Amino acid sequence: MSLLSSLRSVLSAMLNRPRVEKDTDEELRAHVQNRADDLERSGLTRAEAERRARIEFGGHEKFKEECREAAGAHFLYTLLQDLRFGARMLRKNPGFTAVALLTIAIGIGANAAVFSVVNSVLLKPLSYPKPEELVALHQVAPGAAGLADFENGLLLSPSMYFTYSEQNRTFQSLGVWTKDISNVTGLEEPEQVCAVVVSDGVLQSLSVAPQVGRWLMAADQAPRGPQRVMLSYGYWRRRFGGDRGVIGRSITVDSKSAEIVGVMPKGFRFVDTDFDLVEPLQFDRGKLILAGFGFDGIARLKPGVELAEANADITRMLPIWMDSWSNGPGTDPHAYEKWKITPLIRPLKQQVIGNVSEVLWVVMGTLGLVMLIACANVTNLMLVRVEARQQELAVRTALGAGWGRIVGGLQVESVMLGLMGGVLGVAVANGGVHLLVAMGPANLPRLSEISLDGRTLEFTVLLSLLSCSLFGLIPALKYAGPKASQTLQSAGRSMSASRERHHARNVLMIVQVAMALVLLVSAGLMIRTFLALRTVDPGFADARHLQLMRIGVPDSLIHETQRVMRTQNDILDKLAAIPGAKFAAFASEVPMEGFDSDWDTVFIEGKTYQKGEMPPLHFYKHVSPGFLAAVGTRIISGRDFTWYDVYGLRPVVMISENLAREAWGAAENAIGKRLTEDPGLPWREIIGVVQDVPERAVQEKPPAIIYWPPMVENLFGRGPAQPTRVVTFVARSERAGTESLLRDMRQAVWSVNSNLPLASVRTLEEVYDKSMARTSFTLVMLGIAGAMALVLGLIGIYGVISYMVSQRQREIGIRLALGAQQGNVLKMVLGQGAKMALVGVVIGMGAAFALTRLMTSLLFGVTAHDPMTFSGVATLLILVALAACYLPARRAMRVDPMVALRYE
């Protein structure tokens, strides 16, 4: 038979359903009548003849169904029938339906929300052409002590950039870039904007064409050449209303006029950075030295080039770089060999994602577990319902319904539940994504790209189908078996619980407890991590009342060193005069602010260095007198800078305690000792030792720090005094973070110089919280997952136990009638619950022991197998299980024997 004709017959059977149905009925009936006619002729009465004919014929309905099946269209018809029946069942049990739907919707919604984040952040490729060719020129220098602690590795120096870009064989294009803050003046209020400063090769690598105008090019890099600049789409819209005529116009950037040559298109982000301006790097090639490792490298590989080849290419160029440049007379360029500089080029996407991927996978995994728990709960509900319908199923089986038909029917119901839950879940997910984006770590990369897209919807549908097959199949397999006759025999009498009857539900409950334990242990470990982070002395106090604001004084605005210092000093005086302000001070950076730090070698007087040996690099920062006191950093020994030190250009420094201990054994011993950045430069005297401060993040070991006054002679080589032009001002005030204080501070700054813009206005607490955003985000997510697991587990246990009690009412009644004490009954029920909870806890402990290792990198101050967390969570779960059993147990205790026995 051809496909077409079979299709036609199926279709006609479908379309003519009512008629065909009637015809079949009539035909079978006619048969019985004909037979009865014959039997009547053989002498039976009409009634007897018809009875005999019907018996001979057999199951009318069964054959009708078989006829339907034979005529085709059976599947669709059955489905339709099941759908109608399922919908009716769901409507008839609004309580069950609501609880089940809500559970599924929340489970699916939470998973879909997190998946959409995982998808947007981790899975989707970067939005540049051929993103797989883009790489970050990451390199490490294990031999450079001091640098090795930090994950940024060794950035590129300008001389490296020239060597790499001119000598390489594996890159289409290559460039370096960095972030900067620029002051734009002349347009309304002076404004600080975010700029990216790029060399030639960076825009070529990213290869995104400008919206208007052209890219910055090699010609724009010429030092002392005309200033040129590109705008971001957002800045262009905001400041110029999207006027295409801006090309060729000039704006004042850092007090210098710069010509606008192009605008980048909408949605273009610079690797992981939002920016307002793109400015060209203008290296003076003649003056470059080897050092100056301050730039991120980015490149586009030639097609087909592997990372290993590119790494080999860089390794080949490193000696060329050392041969081509120098750090000045008397220095050995090959001293860098000791640094063991090693290229570790990685895909740009990896650079963008950073360390957030572990967090997201852990969160995804935990929510997957929550989904399983939710499914277990719904399965339990389904089991109860199927159990209640056992009579019906048994009757249907006895009437000839096949196993497949019954399983199919149950499946259709659960698929309906699953899909409806999925639809609701999408709504939940939509809200959840907004919540996640709002709550997520502020440095969550690609934040703007997060959305519910097709892939997420696919995932949701898949998840719904998967989960409903899970909670549809178990009851079906359990109850649609060939046990119909047994059920019919026990019809109408509720038997005492048989072991086998509760097996599935007990297993589900144990699994739930186990999974909840895993989730709660993870959440517990995160709480311990968070607490541990909070107990680390961050090197400042009462961060809530410290107002920060960053101000840069461009060279073009005030050139003279002393005048810059004066201006900054004047701002301090004005800030200190604000009512309620207790301290005012400034520093090149405040802990955890995340600005790129300065590093230099440190030579200690009295220590002998081999020729050409490069001593460890140390982190250094400039602080004004009173800065340490203002933020609450303790001076352990010696004294702070004074303004006499600053204006007198005295060669004095303070150092961190760990450096003092390392070099002189104790903090006090360091006072009066001397150090320098270069043996050729004058020594600087140590006047104070400062407590260790975790500059980058509390979970990192505090680096050794050299504190310099804000105005220093011989900075980066012999030379006149130089100011620190970009600094963060701090003011301690009860009003920190309020608009009124900000107004006062703005006033104070502008009364000194109205061309100075303010940036990064925030409290130190915000900075501190942001530095822990990753931990707190993980904590909140795991906390939510853990709470969901606990509540679902509680409901699950309650459901199982109270169902068990209702099933055993008769047995309990008999026990009580025979003289059992109420206490015994209570103990029996509680014992049963406790036993299962205990089994679940033991299994969960094993699973958690294996799984928490995966989150080691997120933990701080606590091991993945922290016994306190494990035992605490286990105790909590057992208590919760007992509490969940208590209500049903009390109900069991109160069973009136007479009522229970008369019940039947």
Partner 1 sequence: MPSQAQILPGTLDLLILKAVSLGPLHGYGVLLRIEQISQGALLIEQGALYPALFRLVRQGLLKASWGTSDNNRRAKFYELTSAGRKRLRQEADGWNRLAAAIASALNTQPEEI
Q: Which residues bind partner 1 (CB under 8 A)?
A: 1, 5-6, 9, 23-24, 26-28, 30-31, 33-35, 37, 56-60, 62-63, 66-67, 69-72
DSSP character at residue 225: S
Beta strands in 734-825 (DSSP E): 759-763
Q: Whose Cβ is closer to partner 1: residue 28's or residue 83's? A: 28
Q: Whose Cβ is closer to partner 1: residue 65's or residue 593's? A: 65
Cα 624 from Cα 641, distance rounded (Å): 7
Q: Whose Cβ is closer to partner 1: residue 28's or residue 773's? A: 28
Q: Shortest distance, CB of residue 78 to partner 1, whole angstroms? A: 16
Q: Whose Cβ is closer to partner 1: residue 58's or residue 329's? A: 58
Q: Shortest distance, CB of residue 392 to partner 1, whole angstroms? A: 24
Q: Shortest distance, CB of residue 904 to partner 1, whole angstroms? A: 39
Q: Shortest distance, CB of residue 21 to partner 1, whole angstroms? A: 13
Give the residue from 543, 365, 363, 366 showing the smallest Cα distance to 441. 363
Cα 840 from Cα 880, distance rounded (Å): 13
Cα 866 from Cα 876, distance rounded (Å): 16
Q: Shortest distance, CB of residue 114 to partner 1, whole angstroms? A: 50
Q: Is 249 exposed, middle or buried (0-12, 13-18, 19+ CB in 10 A)?
A: exposed
Cα 213 from Cα 210, distance rounded (Å): 6
Q: Shortest distance, CB of residue 25 to partner 1, whole angstroms? A: 11
Three-state secondary structure call for residue 227: coil
Cα 218 from Cα 215, distance rounded (Å): 10
Q: Whose Cβ is closer to partner 1: residue 30's or residue 462's? A: 30
- Helix or strand holding residue 242 (H, E): none
Q: 637 - beta bridge partners?
A: 689
Dihedral sign computed on CA atoms, order 435, 438, 443, 449: positive
Cα 405 from Cα 803, distance rounded (Å): 28
Amino acid at 564: V
Q: Whose Cβ is closer to partner 1: residue 5's or residue 608's? A: 5
- Rg (alpha carbons) of the chain, rounded to whole number: 38
Amino acid at 285: R
Cα 773 from Cα 540, distance rounded (Å): 18
Give the residue from 695, 547, 700 showing the smallest Cα distance to 633. 695
Q: Shortest distance, CB of residue 822 to partner 1, whole angstroms? A: 59
Q: Shortest distance, CB of residue 408 to partner 1, whole angstroms? A: 20
Q: Whose Cβ is closer to partner 1: residue 39's or residue 461's? A: 39
> Between the CA of residue 600 and those of 23, 144, 273, what are the distances in Å?
96, 11, 27
Q: Whose Cβ is closer to partner 1: residue 71's or residue 247's? A: 71
Q: Whose Cβ is closer to partner 1: residue 66's or residue 573's? A: 66
The angle that helices 390-398 and 356-388 make with each other, rounded to 10 degrees, is 70
Q: Shortest distance, CB of residue 28 to partner 1, whole angstroms? A: 6
Q: Shortest distance, CB of residue 53 to partner 1, whole angstroms? A: 9
Q: Shortest distance, CB of residue 43 to partner 1, whole angstroms? A: 17
Cα 165 from Cα 175, distance rounded (Å): 7
Dihedral sign computed on CA atoms, order 55, 57, 63, 64: negative
Q: Whose Cβ is closer to partner 1: residue 54's or residue 338's? A: 54
The angle that helices 773-807 and 356-388 make with each other, rounded to 10 degrees, is 10
Q: Shortest distance, CB of residue 793 to partner 1, whole angstroms? A: 50
Q: 549 - beta bridge partners?
A: 729
Taking residue 535's Cβ as centre, other Cβ atoms within 10 Å add up to 9
Give the residue from 146, 679, 613, 678 showing the smallest Cα distance to 338. 613
Q: Shortest distance, CB of residue 50 to partner 1, whole angstroms? A: 14
Q: Shortest distance, CB of residue 11 to partner 1, whole angstroms? A: 12
Q: Whose Cβ is closer to partner 1: residue 66's or residue 166's? A: 66
Residues 6+ apart with CB under 8 A from 810: 494, 496, 900, 901, 903, 904
Q: Whose Cβ is closer to partner 1: residue 59's or residue 672's? A: 59
Give the residue from 580, 615, 704, 558 showing the smallest Cα distance to 255. 558
Q: Whose Cβ is closer to partner 1: residue 1's or residue 438's? A: 1
Q: Whose Cβ is closer to partner 1: residue 63's or residue 886's? A: 63
Q: Whose Cβ is closer to partner 1: residue 46's or residue 701's? A: 46
Q: Whose Cβ is closer to partner 1: residue 56's or residue 560's? A: 56
Q: Shortest distance, CB of residue 57 to partner 1, whole angstroms? A: 5
Residues 6+ apart with CB under 8 A from 863: none
Residues 6+ apart with CB under 8 A from 167: 317, 320
Q: Shortest distance, CB of residue 482 to partner 1, whole angstroms? A: 22
Q: Shortest distance, CB of residue 85 to partner 1, whole angstroms? A: 23
Q: Is 635 left (phi over 0), alpha (psi -120 to 50) or beta?
A: beta
Cα 97 from Cα 112, distance rounded (Å): 21
Q: Whose Cβ is closer to partner 1: residue 58's or residue 579's? A: 58
Cα 250 from Cα 228, distance rounded (Å): 9
Cα 500 from Cα 30, distance rounded (Å): 48
CA angle 525, 529, 533 (to 5 degrees): 170
Cα 413 from Cα 467, distance rounded (Å): 13
- Helix or strand holding residue 689 (H, E): strand 684-690
DSSP string, 1-28: --HHHHHHHHHHHHHTHHHHHHHHHHHH
**CB-based contact 562:649 (threshold 8 Å):** no
Q: Shortest distance, CB of residue 10 to partner 1, whole angstroms? A: 9
